[in-house]
Amino acid sequence: MKNIDSILIANRGEIACRIIKTAKQMGIKTVALCSTIDINALHTKVADEVFVLDGTSSLETYLNIEKIVKVIQTANVDAVHPGYGFLSENANFAKAVIDNNCTFIGPTPEVIETMGSKLNSKLLAKKSGVPTLDSIDVTSLTKEELLKSVNREDLPVLIKASLGGGGKGMRVVYNLDELQEAVETAKREAKSAFSDETVFVEKYIENPRHIEIQILADLFGNTFGVFERECSIQRRHQKIIEEAPCAILTDELRKNISDAAVSIAKSVNYTNAGTVEFILDQEGNFYFLEMNTRLQVEHPVTEAISGLDLVKLQIEIAQGRSLEDLKISSPNGHAVELRLYAEDPYKDFMPSPGHINSFEIDENIVRLDTGYSNNSEVSSIYDPMIAKIIAHGNDRHEAILKLKYALKSAKINGIVTNKDLLIGILEESEFVEAKTDTFYLQRHKPETLTYCLDETRVFQAAVAATVAVAVKAKSTLVNQSALPIGWRNLRSQLEILKFTSNNPCFKELIVKYSFDRYNNLDAIIVNETSLNSKIVTVDTEKIGLLTNNSLCYFDYEIFDQNRIWVGTPLGDIEFKKVPEFVDPAESVVAGSLIAPMPGTITKILAEENASVDIGQDLLIIEAMKMENKVVTPIAGTVASIMVKVGDQVSNNQVLAIIKEEQTIEE
């Protein structure tokens, strides 16, 4: 067998940490890469050696083959593991690794090139007798040619990047008028994420399930299908919940899909780990989608039910191990994986990069794969996934219960995440009964799925937030530090605090309160409901309250001046204190377009002095590898545009000003 004593991980974040963990268990030296803004990232702290790639964007760093090859030469590593995303399915990169006398942990460059192109792989699958959907390469077509290629009866259709995955470069089109713009958007996203703008169009199957087969193949022709995964819960065509095995497959259908996957892999002499993806329609027909010639994000659920370490097997296959004696018995129990994202589900899944103050999840209950920790920075440049949370149970019900406990007891604050949405999905009846498909989040809007604490617990949390604000205010006093918390001259009048919360079930809370001279709550009213609350204990991290004879302890943190995170045993909630007076510095001119997130301006869709309608697209911001449109708030004329293509903008930055149309009254 070939010796691998050192591995360069050509990736970042969660998957880099995951590979490093297994490599270290195998006694292999790990070498990591990082961009200049990733210098303090978790993967740089757990690797044995780290090389900094000068630059911040993906194209300058993790997608730059020339820079990574120089690191291979300098570090003199034996092998390279590409992880997923970035260059993991780039045949030129795999060839460059091999040309530098280094082992590429994955299939050959020829296989990557053949199967990495979704268009080529579809043709190959069709030749192998596997059902496929017809596809048309539309990368270079004009608008007129596009409309000749796609007819109204073909709708809906899916525009899809030929290389890569993860929902980048994908758009569903229901109206021919939207076709050209969808193609151009998909091309830009594909170019940014995968350095290739090739996109194609195919029929979009509505309400299907997404089924995939894990493949393992050695250098001697032994090829195995290692069970299936279902990944139907998606947003923006990117998976957020995966599980194994699929709860609804019959033994016959399971075997047919697995045999098709193995047949496709064998047809190209596939080696190492890979995944063959299918869609399953409502009638039980399955169609080949693509083959990912790499490790999948959701590989932990397969590991949980098989007992295999897929990263270890990848390395061993690259070393020359035969899988002839690999034992793959029936699945052991059930596993479910949740992807925790830095995004706001209630604002069309808008990316929400920023600073993570606290990040704690009970790893005694679930497996946590992450590239972040306390006091981590989530950049707007990279993918918004913060972590994968995986639960394994004797059955699906047990796995779901573990995930609900882990999420409700988690301490995650500082940024907006999809945590409450994930809990809501876990508790929704269609999901519980495994009646899911890729349209799940179109049938169930995030606002209807969100996990909400009950009113009593939210009101108690609002009291805790009020106490936290009062304690914080008292700690800032210098000459009056001996005064009671919440002290004021006119004791007969109640103080009033207004909060907004991050949960749409409780958008606003008004708290009226007073303290007595002994620091006890004298009165407390939340949204006109009187509470009999007493402070049991207060310290810098925890507040104990006795409310109507119910004792509860609340964790809390105050950050960004007016934001208070409160954690309860049943879940957490973040409050934002509404200031009594608006800071003049925060006011903006009427008609201003505000950046909804940090990001990069990639396109400006109107010129100054142009007339625009309310809701019209004016700018496009790319954040976390996805394009986000900024629309005009009013109808009128573009008075000024304050940014240009390529500019990095911050959250709430003014991008443009629209002068409102004046209506003349007769």
How far is residue 421's CA from residue 418's CA, in Å, rounded to a whole number?
5
- Which region, left, alpha or beta, applies to residue 29 given φ > 0 means left and ψ of -120 to 50 means alpha? beta
Q: Which of 469, 520, 340 is nearest to 415 (CA)?
A: 340
At 523, list the tokens.
Answer: 């009165």
Rg (CA), the chain: 27
CB 335 within 8 A of CB 361: no
CA distance 340 to 368: 10
CA distance 334 to 475: 50
Q: Which residues is 286 bridged to in the sheet?
A: 280
Task: Reply yes or no on whether 145 is catalytic.
Answer: no
Concatenating the DSSP letter of every residue in 563-614 gives EEEEEETTEEEEEEEPPSS--GGG---TTEEE-SSSEEEEEE-S-TT-EE-T
| 511 C-beta neighbours (distance < 10 Å), count | 23
Which one of the listed residues 197, 230, 242, 290 is annotated catalytic? 290
Alpha helical stretches, state H, 486-566: none
Task: Give dist(CA 50, CA 457) in Å, integer.
Answer: 46
Coil/strand/helix, residue 268: coil
In three-state form (DSSP H/G/I as H, E/B as E, the rest C), the secondary structure along 278-304 is EEECCCCCEEEEEEECCCCCCHHHHHH
How far is CA 596 from each of CA 170, 192, 353, rounded to the nearest angstrom? 22, 21, 11
User: Phi first, then psi: what are they for 184, rounded to 5°?
Assistant: -65, -40
Give the residue numbers marked as catalytic: 290
